[in-house]
Amino acid sequence: MTDHDHGHDHGHGVWHKVRHVITPHSHDSADKVDSALEASRDGMRALWISLAVLGATAAAQALIVAFSGSVALLGDTLHNVADALTAVPLGIAFWLGRRAATRAYTYGFGRAEDLAGIVIVLVIAASSIAAAWFAIDRLANPRQMTHLPWVFTAGLIGFLGNEIVARYRITVGRRIGSAALVADGLHARTDGFTSLAVVLAAGGTWLGWGWADPVVGLGITVAIAFVLKDAAREVYRRLMDRVDPELVDRAEETLRAIPGVRGVAGLRLRWIGHRMHAEAAVVVDARLTLIAAHEIAADAEHQLTHHVPRLATATVHIDPDSHPGGEHHTGLSHERRDRLAAAAGH
């Protein structure tokens, strides 16, 4: 998942920009907690708005299914209902993610989002199996579809409702770094295209092709299988702590550019919910004082949280250079050397 925006995701819109200018900028623990809470609130808002939209869409479609008998529309309605219900595990995950870390759960409860992602993948799989079952049953036991104009309209309603929800969920999910919310948005997008397939089923039936409705229902199943693959891959990568290699490159470049850092001995990034944590080891001159080395470590953490998107915390370990060499190899400017020396009491 790439992100070329500024690493802190301070928000968007005129008010956020004004607030960013007039509010002091810092990296203390309270600021990081506030940022995580804001991301969780954005996720919850996305869930409830999409739940309302998909609930209304599914209700309208279910009413038309009752008197039209369209198996393709039934499958589409099932998908919309399932997609709306995925707001429940995600809502629980976002709520848990807002809880403070404890002595037992020292990293907090952000992993709940990954568990919610698994539930979403299972719901997508269940809706695909249900759609396939109804479609096969209709092929074996044909039944005439009625009220074709209404079925046609229901397909268009389904597409519009799902596409609105998909765009909203994917946008918010990528902005706050929630793989589960992105997966949920992909599910909604596929449901939108399956709704267009319902329009094709109504058109085929109008032309006298009685097989069109169940065949389109099977096509919907195949489409859901593809989104199932994408969503499962997204959640699997998050569970396995995969990060974009470009983020690792950016973090390494940021560390190497810090005055006093001679090299990067190790670097690891991992997701915890929709925020990242970094662990790094940097090599510095072995002759530096403890205070001077600490200042470099603090600078490294500060620069990482500024330049790596959605990075909430960083732990920096200092390794002494085993071949210190001369002073000209330290990589420190005269001004910074003087400041470090003053800090050390020289």
**What is the percent of the chain where pLDDT is above 70?**
77
**What is the percent of the chain where pLDDT is above 90?**
19
pLDDT value at 332 more than 50: no
Mean pLDDT taken over the chain: 75
**In a 3-state reduction of DSSP, which class is residue 310?**
coil
The size of the chain, in residues, is 346
pLDDT value at 191 more than 80: no
pLDDT value at 315 more than 90: yes
Q: Which of 18-32, 74-88, 303-317 has the highest mean pLDDT?
A: 303-317
Q: Which of 217, 239, 261 is a domain's end point?
A: 239
**In this structure, are 235 and 254 located in the same domain?**
no
Q: Which of 189, 215, 239 is a domain's end point?
A: 239
Task: Give the closest residue to 97 by CA, choosing from 117, 74, 83.
Answer: 117
pLDDT value at 19 more than 70: no
pLDDT, average across residues 277-287 = 93
Strands of the chain, DSSP E:
263-272, 275-284, 311-320
**In this structure, are 220 and 251 located in the same domain?**
no
How far is 144 from 72, CA to CA, in rounded Å? 12
Task: Give the closest residue to 293 by CA, choosing from 262, 327, 271.
Answer: 262
Q: Which of 239, 254, 276 is a domain's end point?
A: 239
pLDDT value at 3 more than 50: no
Model pTM? 0.61
pLDDT, average across residues 173-181 = 78
Q: Which of 25-29, 272-276, 308-312 has the highest mean pLDDT?
A: 308-312
- If you search the block for the tokens 């203390």, which residue do you land on? 28
CA atoms within 13 A on the CB side of 80: 33
**In this structure, are 167 and 283 located in the same domain?**
no
Q: Which tens digits make up the pLDDT trace of 206-226?
A: 777 766 667 777 777 787 788
How far is 290 from 272, CA to CA, in rounded Å? 31
Which residue range(s) make up the domain with 204?
14-239
Domain count along the chain: 2
Task: Give the closest residue to 121 by CA, choosing from 183, 54, 191.
Answer: 183
CATH (domain of 319): 3.30.70.1350
